[in-house]
Amino acid sequence: MKPKQRGLSLIELLVALAISSLLILGITQIYIDNKSNYLFQQGQSDNNENARYTLLVLEEELRRTGYRIQPDLAREEAFRAESRGNCAFDRGEVINFNANAQRICLRYQPQRDGLVACDGAPQTGPAEPYNSSAPSGGAAPNIIVELDYFSGDLRCNGQPVTNNLVDFQLEFGVNDQDLREALTYTSAPTAAEAIQSVRYAALVKSRSENLADNTESTVFARWQSSRYGLEGATAPDRALYQIAESTINLRNLTR
């Protein structure tokens, strides 16, 4: 009598292989879904961080605009006519905008010694704010900051500080009198109009361009519709898009 053979039959091997394949496929799909979700969340986080930092840079510099070490000194005395780089100011002027170059030029005096502008360069100033020993007659050094939008970057004095900006638009709250509030907003303020506030809008996108399922981005479409009147626009890629908007008052420019 032949001894019984022990082992797995072909059917049992096929069943085991089918079950293993299903398990592997399930685990692989879970991994792919988790990775896609992680990348999506990372893209959203990048957009939020980029939008916040853009606002931070603009807020910090614009709110310094027109600051004087001696507040009782007339603005025309503290800020004489001067030019530096691409920026030129008339006497008493502390902010202007070049619409063609998308460039804001602003200036202020340092609140304290070692103050760092948005380009990272420390500035020389008084030991304390409103120091009575500060030089008079406008002799205090003026800090000039050039903010511009170029090739997807927001730059400070030529140094990129934020990137991945798809579009960037500015409007200025102006009046033609000595008032605290802005009477109207314009994208091209004239020399006769006093700038009181700056309204900005930025369309930012994630570093990766393959995070969305398709190019039908509602955010991109809304931007194109509200800013350019283009209905039904689709994005040029599958990146994640976000709109950042804010209005910043120039608190040092009221008398």
Residue pLDDT, tens place only, 81-122: 999 989 999 999 999 999 888 899 999 998 888 888 888 888
Sort strands 87-89 and 95-98 into parallel, antiparallel or unpaired: unpaired
Where residue 212 falls among pLDDT bands split at 50, 70, 90? confident
User: 241: which strand partners?
Assistant: 205
Q: What is the mean pLDDT of residues 186-200?
A: 88
d(CA 253, CA 66): 6
CA distances to 32, 75, 114, 121 from 143, rounded to whole Å, are: 51, 14, 12, 10
pLDDT for 138: 44
Residues 17-41 as b/e (b if ≥16 CB within 10 A, e otherwise) read eeeeeeeeeeeeeeeeeeeeeeebe
Burial class of residue 6, CB neighbours in 10 A (0-12, 13-18, 19+): exposed
pTM of the model: 0.77
Amino acid at the residue 4: K
Asked if residue 42 has pLDDT above 60, the reply is yes
As a whole number of angstroms, the distance between CA 145 and CA 87 comes to: 8
Q: 152 or 139: which carries more pLDDT confidence?
A: 152
- What number of other Cβ atoms are within 10 A of residue 243's Cβ? 18
d(CA 200, CA 245): 6
Model confidence at 210: pLDDT above 50: yes
Mean pLDDT, rounded, of the chain: 84
- Mean of the pLDDT values across residues 47-67? 88
What pLDDT score does 178 carry? 65
- Compute and round to an integer the Cα radius of gyration of the chain: 29
What's the residue count for the chain?
255
Q: Show me where the domains of the chain are located.
A: 12-253
Alpha helix segments (H runs only) across the chain: 10-64, 75-78, 218-228
